Amino acid sequence: MENKTVIGFIGAGNMAYALIKGLLSDGFEAKNINVSDANLELLEKRSSELGVTTYSDNVSLLTNSDIVVFAVKPQVLSVVCHELKNKASSDQLFVSIVAGIKSKDINRWLGGDFALVRTMPNTPALFQSGVTGLFANELVNDTQKESVNLLLSAVGECFWVNEENLLDAITAISGSGPAYFFLMMQSMKQAAMALGLDEETADALSIKTSLGASIMATNSGKDSRTLRAEVTSPNGTTQSAIETFQDQNFEGIVAAATRAAYDRARELSQELGNID
């Protein structure tokens, strides 16, 4: 992305903060970052900590930015878009990190056909360890795609899909996924305490084992099925545990849970998009 491209964030909350911090650490200049928010105290805080330019109204931010990032809660997005209605220029690029709201609904609220990238980051983005699913509508050109890729790469890895509906699948896997792993950590911690370990040790063992397994899966060059087979000696302790998981239909539970998240993402998308 050219360093003179001006990026404006509508909403100065947690995600905007993470993205801006990431951009700054990648060498993007604070003078080319704008932020607007309904909360003036928060704007003041962002300005003094990050050196970005702040606006108390979203229309001024729009007028002074090349790329506008929607970083507000889903319930607020239609209100924000209505404020901007018929005020954007045709060469502006919009990026939404707002969960669930489809590109056609955003463009309907903005009152035109604008180049728009919808993204689905996840919460580890707050620690620059996220994964983000992205979808570009047909008006987004390659240079714009590259700019958005750089923007979201500031908080983790990017995965593009060429059908917008696939963002619902991404929501069910990586969007909600951190909570699935937290549930596993919580269950392992409880199990460790039931086996006599103290709480602090139980907590550390479950978290660090999860981290170590992730690092191994990322760096070993082997798929998770192979890694699991390699750590499962015949008649050993791991085999006893894995067989118990499978007797209780572990894979079936994971498939049902992710399907439920996928169905709910589709329902929410429908409900939120129905607003005029």
Ligand X SMILES: NC(=O)c1ccc[n+]([C@@H]2O[C@H](COP(=O)([O-])OP(=O)(O)OC[C@H]3O[C@@H](n4cnc5c(N)ncnc54)[C@H](OP(=O)(O)O)[C@@H]3O)[C@@H](O)[C@H]2O)c1
C-alpha distances (whole Å) from 213 to each of 129, 178, 207, 216, 228 are 15, 15, 10, 5, 10
Query: Is 178 a residue that touches ligand X (CB under 6 A)?
Result: no
Q: Which of 1, 7, 12, 192 binds ligand X (CB under 6 A)?
A: 12
Nearer to ligand X, 53 or 202 (CB): 53
Cβ of residue 125: shortest distance to ligand X, in angstroms? 6
Q: Which of 68, 98, 106, 155 binds ligand X (CB under 6 A)?
A: 98
Q: Residue 200's beta-bridge partner residues? A: none
Q: Which of 20, 33, 34, 37 binds ligand X (CB under 6 A)?
A: 37
Query: Is 34 a residue that touches ligand X (CB under 6 A)?
Result: no
Give the residue from 214, 46, 15 showing the smallest Cα distance to 124.
15
Query: Is 123 a residue that touches ligand X (CB under 6 A)?
Result: yes
Query: Is 147 a residue that touches ligand X (CB under 6 A)?
Result: no
Cβ of residue 152: shortest distance to ligand X, in angstroms? 11
Q: Which of 15, 67, 81, 117 binds ligand X (CB under 6 A)?
A: 15
Query: Are the C-beta atoms of 42 and 12 separated by less than 8 Å?
Result: yes
Cβ of residue 2: shortest distance to ligand X, in angstroms? 25
Angle at CA 15, nearest 5°, toward 11 and 20?
85
Element at 54 (helix H, strand E): strand 53-55
Cβ of residue 106: shortest distance to ligand X, in angstroms? 12
Query: Is 20 a residue that touches ligand X (CB under 6 A)?
Result: no
Query: Are the C-beta atoms of 232 and 203 separated by less than 8 Å?
Result: no
* Pairwise CA distance, residues 128 & 210, whole Å: 18
Is 14 marked as a binding-site residue? yes
Query: Are the C-beta atoms of 103 and 118 separated by less than 8 Å?
Result: yes
Query: Is 39 a residue that touches ligand X (CB under 6 A)?
Result: yes
* Pairwise CA distance, residues 263 & 251, whole Å: 18
Q: Which of 50, 67, 69, 71 binds ligand X (CB under 6 A)?
A: 71
Cβ of residue 202: shortest distance to ligand X, in angstroms? 27
One-character DSSP codes across 105-160: HHHHHHTS--EEEEEE--GGGGGT-EEEEEEE-TT--HHHHHHHHHHHHTTEEEEE
Query: Is 58 a residue that touches ligand X (CB under 6 A)?
Result: yes
72: three-class secondary structure by DSSP: coil
Please enumerate, by residue number, every residue annotated as part of a binding site for NADPH: 58
**Residues interacting with ligand X, by CB under 6 A?**
10-16, 36-39, 42, 58, 71-74, 76, 79-80, 97-99, 121-123, 125-126
Please enumerate, by residue number, every residue annotated as part of a binding site for NADP(+): 10-15, 71-74
